[in-house]
Protein backbone atom coordinates (compact mmCIF):
# COMPACT_ATOMS: atom_id res chain seq x y z
CA UNK A 1 0.00 0.00 0.00
CA UNK A 2 1.31 3.45 -0.89
CA UNK A 3 2.21 5.70 1.99
CA UNK A 4 0.06 8.77 2.29
CA UNK A 5 1.08 12.22 3.46
CA UNK A 6 -0.77 13.30 6.61
CA UNK A 7 -2.41 16.68 6.06
CA UNK A 8 -4.55 16.80 9.24
CA UNK A 9 -4.13 14.91 12.50
CA UNK A 10 -4.83 14.85 16.23
CA UNK A 11 -5.59 18.28 17.70
CA UNK A 12 -6.38 19.94 14.36
CA UNK A 13 -8.80 17.09 13.53
CA UNK A 14 -10.64 17.58 16.83
CA UNK A 15 -10.74 21.36 16.33
CA UNK A 16 -12.32 20.87 12.89
CA UNK A 17 -15.00 18.62 14.42
CA UNK A 18 -15.68 21.24 17.11
CA UNK A 19 -15.89 24.06 14.54
CA UNK A 20 -18.36 22.08 12.45
CA UNK A 21 -20.47 21.42 15.55
CA UNK A 22 -20.54 25.10 16.53
CA UNK A 23 -21.57 26.05 12.99
CA UNK A 24 -24.39 23.50 13.15
CA UNK A 25 -25.55 24.82 16.52
CA UNK A 26 -25.56 28.38 15.15
CA UNK A 27 -27.81 27.36 12.26
CA UNK A 28 -29.97 24.64 13.84
CA UNK A 29 -30.23 25.79 17.49
CA UNK A 30 -31.66 22.85 19.46
CA UNK A 31 -32.13 20.60 16.35
CA UNK A 32 -35.85 20.26 17.12
CA UNK A 33 -36.68 20.31 13.40
CA UNK A 34 -33.33 19.10 12.05
CA UNK A 35 -31.79 15.69 11.46
CA UNK A 36 -28.29 14.40 10.80
CA UNK A 37 -27.92 11.68 8.13
CA UNK A 38 -24.62 9.94 7.44
CA UNK A 39 -24.00 8.62 3.93
CA UNK A 40 -22.73 5.04 3.95
CA UNK A 41 -20.08 3.97 4.43
CA UNK A 42 -17.67 6.66 5.63
CA UNK A 43 -20.05 9.55 6.20
CA UNK A 44 -21.55 7.55 9.05
CA UNK A 45 -18.31 7.85 11.07
CA UNK A 46 -18.37 11.63 10.76
CA UNK A 47 -22.10 11.82 11.53
CA UNK A 48 -21.63 9.73 14.67
CA UNK A 49 -18.69 11.86 15.81
CA UNK A 50 -20.71 15.04 15.24
CA UNK A 51 -23.70 13.60 17.09
CA UNK A 52 -21.57 12.64 20.10
CA UNK A 53 -19.79 15.99 20.19
CA UNK A 54 -23.03 17.98 19.80
CA UNK A 55 -24.39 16.18 22.86
CA UNK A 56 -21.25 17.11 24.80
CA UNK A 57 -20.76 20.76 23.87
CA UNK A 58 -24.33 21.81 23.17
CA UNK A 59 -26.19 19.53 25.56
CA UNK A 60 -28.36 18.61 22.57
CA UNK A 61 -29.93 15.20 23.03
CA UNK A 62 -32.91 15.24 20.69
CA UNK A 63 -31.11 15.05 17.33
CA UNK A 64 -32.66 12.54 14.97
CA UNK A 65 -29.93 10.61 13.19
CA UNK A 66 -29.97 8.21 10.29
CA UNK A 67 -27.71 6.15 8.05
CA UNK A 68 -28.35 6.20 4.31
CA UNK A 69 -27.03 3.65 1.80
CA UNK A 70 -26.81 4.96 -1.77
CA UNK A 71 -25.37 1.87 -3.50
CA UNK A 72 -28.17 1.34 -6.01
CA UNK A 73 -28.91 5.04 -6.48
CA UNK A 74 -25.48 5.72 -7.99
CA UNK A 75 -25.33 6.32 -11.72
CA UNK A 76 -22.33 4.01 -12.03
CA UNK A 77 -23.48 0.94 -10.07
CA UNK A 78 -24.04 -1.09 -13.24
CA UNK A 79 -20.56 -0.36 -14.59
CA UNK A 80 -18.62 -1.94 -11.73
CA UNK A 81 -16.49 -5.01 -12.37
CA UNK A 82 -17.87 -6.89 -9.37
CA UNK A 83 -21.44 -7.08 -8.11
CA UNK A 84 -22.03 -4.51 -5.39
CA UNK A 85 -23.13 -5.38 -1.89
CA UNK A 86 -25.48 -2.83 -0.39
CA UNK A 87 -24.87 -1.50 3.08
CA UNK A 88 -27.51 -0.87 5.71
CA UNK A 89 -29.94 2.04 5.74
CA UNK A 90 -31.27 3.01 9.16
CA UNK A 91 -33.91 5.71 8.86
CA UNK A 92 -36.72 5.26 11.36
CA UNK A 93 -38.21 8.68 10.65
CA UNK A 94 -39.44 10.75 7.73
CA UNK A 95 -37.67 13.92 6.63
CA UNK A 96 -40.92 15.62 5.66
CA UNK A 97 -40.63 19.36 6.48
CA UNK A 98 -37.33 18.85 8.32
CA UNK A 99 -33.96 20.46 7.81
CA UNK A 100 -31.66 17.63 6.75
CA UNK A 101 -27.90 17.69 7.17
CA UNK A 102 -26.35 15.10 4.86
CA UNK A 103 -22.90 14.06 6.07
CA UNK A 104 -20.04 12.55 4.07
CA UNK A 105 -16.31 12.32 4.63
CA UNK A 106 -14.97 13.54 1.25
CA UNK A 107 -16.71 15.58 -1.46
CA UNK A 108 -15.10 14.77 -4.79
CA UNK A 109 -17.18 14.39 -7.97
CA UNK A 110 -20.59 15.05 -6.38
CA UNK A 111 -22.04 11.75 -7.61
CA UNK A 112 -22.43 10.24 -4.14
CA UNK A 113 -24.29 13.34 -2.97
CA UNK A 114 -26.60 13.20 -5.99
CA UNK A 115 -27.32 9.54 -5.20
CA UNK A 116 -28.04 10.47 -1.58
CA UNK A 117 -30.48 13.17 -2.64
CA UNK A 118 -32.34 10.63 -4.77
CA UNK A 119 -32.39 8.03 -1.98
CA UNK A 120 -33.57 10.63 0.52
CA UNK A 121 -36.70 11.30 -1.58
CA UNK A 122 -38.10 7.99 -0.32
CA UNK A 123 -38.29 9.49 3.17
CA UNK A 124 -40.35 12.55 2.31
CA UNK A 125 -39.84 16.07 1.11
CA UNK A 126 -37.35 17.91 3.28
CA UNK A 127 -37.79 21.58 4.03
CA UNK A 128 -34.08 22.13 3.40
CA UNK A 129 -31.09 19.88 2.69
CA UNK A 130 -27.55 20.91 3.59
CA UNK A 131 -24.27 19.07 3.03
CA UNK A 132 -21.50 18.72 5.58
CA UNK A 133 -18.16 17.21 4.57
CA UNK A 134 -14.87 16.75 6.37
CA UNK A 135 -12.91 17.28 3.13
CA UNK A 136 -13.83 19.22 -0.01
CA UNK A 137 -11.48 18.25 -2.85
CA UNK A 138 -12.44 21.43 -4.75
CA UNK A 139 -11.35 20.27 -8.20
CA UNK A 140 -12.74 17.69 -10.62
CA UNK A 141 -16.37 18.13 -9.59
CA UNK A 142 -18.62 16.40 -12.12
CA UNK A 143 -21.84 17.90 -10.78
CA UNK A 144 -22.74 21.35 -9.40
CA UNK A 145 -22.59 20.27 -5.76
CA UNK A 146 -21.03 22.23 -2.91
CA UNK A 147 -20.65 21.68 0.80
CA UNK A 148 -22.48 24.01 3.18
CA UNK A 149 -20.18 23.03 6.05
CA UNK A 150 -16.60 22.06 5.23
CA UNK A 151 -13.87 20.82 7.53
CA UNK A 152 -10.98 21.49 5.14
CA UNK A 153 -10.49 22.19 1.45
CA UNK A 154 -7.81 20.21 -0.36
CA UNK A 155 -6.27 20.98 -3.73
CA UNK A 156 -5.85 17.41 -4.97
CA UNK A 157 -4.96 16.44 -8.51
CA UNK A 158 -7.26 14.01 -10.32
CA UNK A 159 -5.07 10.96 -9.70
CA UNK A 160 -4.53 11.79 -6.03
CA UNK A 161 -6.69 10.22 -3.35
CA UNK A 162 -7.84 11.74 -0.06
CA UNK A 163 -8.69 9.45 2.85
CA UNK A 164 -10.14 10.24 6.27
CA UNK A 165 -9.23 7.82 9.05
CA UNK A 166 -11.06 7.59 12.36
CA UNK A 167 -9.74 6.80 15.82
CA UNK A 168 -12.53 4.31 16.54
CA UNK A 169 -11.96 2.50 13.20
CA UNK A 170 -8.29 2.82 12.17
CA UNK A 171 -6.86 3.83 15.56
CA UNK A 172 -6.10 7.48 14.85
CA UNK A 173 -7.93 10.56 13.58
CA UNK A 174 -6.25 11.92 10.45
CA UNK A 175 -6.67 13.01 6.85
CA UNK A 176 -4.19 11.64 4.32
CA UNK A 177 -3.30 12.51 0.75
CA UNK A 178 -2.09 9.64 -1.43
CA UNK A 179 -0.30 10.10 -4.78
CA UNK A 180 -2.81 7.74 -6.45
CA UNK A 181 -5.92 5.78 -5.53
CA UNK A 182 -5.10 3.06 -2.99
For 80-116, the pLDDT digits (tens) are: 677 778 899 999 999 999 999 999 999 999 999 999 9
Asked if residue 175 is part of any domain, the answer here is no
The reply to whether 130 falls in a domain is yes
- Residue range(s) defining the domain that contains residue 130: 12-157
- How many Cβ atoms are within 10 Å of 102's Cβ, its own excluded? 26
Positive or negative: CA dihedral 4, 49, 20, 149: positive
2 has pLDDT over 60: no
- Distance CA(94)–CA(125), nearest Å, equals 9
Asked if residue 59 has pLDDT above 90, the reply is no
Global pTM value? 0.93
Is 172 part of any domain?
no
What CATH number has the domain bearing residue 122?
A: 3.40.50.2020
Number of domains the chain is built from: 1
Amino acid sequence: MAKGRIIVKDIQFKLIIDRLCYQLIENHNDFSNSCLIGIQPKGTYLAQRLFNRLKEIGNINNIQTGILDVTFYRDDFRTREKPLSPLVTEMDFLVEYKKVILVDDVLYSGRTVRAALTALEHYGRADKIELLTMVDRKYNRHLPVHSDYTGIKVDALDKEYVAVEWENVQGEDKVLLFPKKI
